[in-house]
Chains A and B, each alone.
Chain A
Amino acid sequence: MSESSALGRDEVRLLVLHVLTRGASHGYAIARAVEEQSDDALRMGEGTLYPVLRALEQDQLVTSAWETADSGPARKVYRITAGGRAELTRRLRDWKSRVAALGNVLGLDPIGRKGGLSHA
């Protein structure tokens, strides 16, 4: 995994919200989901993940609760709120616009139009 695989805070926020739309998860599961879905190309630094989760809770975009597991200790599980889903939709829209704009500047065919990156 290269240095460029490290994620910024805004990216971590976006990915956390996205992962939680698939169901409640604890911090470790959120980080692993991102790595698995990116084929290990992206690493969600744990030192960034937890402050982001706190910020998302403060903004009421996610909620958390301690839940007892069938085996092992209790774990803190996060769920996305309706506000979080709306925020995710907004951020995804902004992300797509930014990618399209970058693609235009760089002369690349944006991801999603023809299913891949190619130089126009």
Chain B
Amino acid sequence: MRDDSRHPAIEAFLAQVEARLGALSPEERAEERAELAHHLDLLVTANRAGGMDPDDAVHAAVGRFGRAGALGAALAAAGRARRTPVREALLFVILWTVPVVTGATSDWYVDGVLFPHPWIDGLYMLAVVTVAFFQHRQDVRAAAQ
């Protein structure tokens, strides 16, 4: 929540960070903003106690955070990674449902030596889906590191 009593430089920094948090829900964005604002307020207070004038105290505090855009992007990426397990669970359920329903309702039957029975076809499909899913999850986690 914007605080008009806060120094303009701090509000500008928070706004720049928040502009990169589009991937987060409104509640998550508000939490990130509140946490950063709290930290900045404490830094400013410490800087003022150390003898800095008000403007210098604010600019020094904001400077410690580095580039607002980079910070916002990093927090947004962390938020996306946080939601990944829920999406993964849904994807896994859907991917499993397809071969199970297909195998149960169809009469497909691969002629040949390898898959003489429909239930073996189904197990094979489930195995492929499972391996692909966990490989995908591993790739996503590695990219988020």
Interface residues of A (CB under 8 A from B): 26-28, 31-32, 45-48, 50-51, 54-55, 57-58, 66, 73-76
Cα–Cα distance between A66 and B64 once the two chains are bound (Å):
23
Verify if B43 is at the interface (C-beta below 8 Å from A).
Answer: yes
* Given known A51-B74, A76-B31, contact A27–B39 (CB-CB < 8 A): yes
Contact A50 B36 (CB under 8 A): yes
Take A28-B43, A58-B81 as given contacts and tell me if A50 and B38 are in contact as well, using a CB distance cutoff of 8 Å.
no
Query: At the interface, yes or no: B112 with Cβ under 8 Å from chain A?
Result: no
Dominant secondary structure at the B interface: helix
Q: Interface size (B, Cβ < 8 Å)?
A: 22
* A47–B82 touching, CB < 8 Å: no
13 A-B contacts (beta carbon < 8 Å) = A26-B39, A27-B39, A45-B65, A46-B39, A47-B65, A47-B71, A48-B66, A50-B36, A51-B78, A54-B78, A58-B78, A66-B31, A76-B31
Interface residues of B (CB under 8 A from A): 31, 34-36, 38-39, 42-43, 46, 64-67, 70-71, 74-75, 77-79, 81-82
Assess whether B35 is in contact with A50, with CB atoms less than 8 Å apart.
Answer: yes
Residues of A within 8 A of B77 (CB): 51
Question: Out of A28, A45, A74, which one reaches B42, CB within 8 Å?
Answer: A28
Assess whether A50 is in contact with B71, with CB atoms less than 8 Å apart. Answer: yes
- What CA separation (Å) do A27 and B82 show in the bound complex? 19
| Docked-complex contact B71 and A51, CB < 8 angstroms | yes
The one of A32, A54, A75 in contact with B79, judged by C-beta atoms closer than 8 angstroms, is: A54
Q: Which of A46, A66, A76 contacts B65 (CB 8 A)?
A: A46
The residues of B that contact A54 with a CB separation of less than 8 Å are 74-75, 78-79, 82
Instruction: Name the B residues within 8 Å of A27 (CB-CB).
Output: 35, 38-39
Give the residue of B38, B75, B79 whose beta carbon is less than 8 angstroms from that of A26. Answer: B38
- Inter-chain contact B35/A76, CB cutoff 8 Å: yes
Residues of A within 8 A of B81 (CB): 55, 58
Q: Which residues of B contact A45 (CB under 8 A)?
A: 64-66
Contact B39 A28 (CB under 8 A): yes
Q: How far is the CA of A66 from the CA of B38 in the complex (A)?
A: 12
How many whole Å from B5's CB to the nearest CB in chain A?
12
- Interchain nearest-CB distance for A20 vs B (Å): 16
Of B31, B39, B75, the most chain A CB neighbours within 10 A belong to B39
CA distance A47 to B64 in the complex (A): 7
Q: In the complex, what residue of chain A is closest to B36 when comparing beta carbons?
A: A50
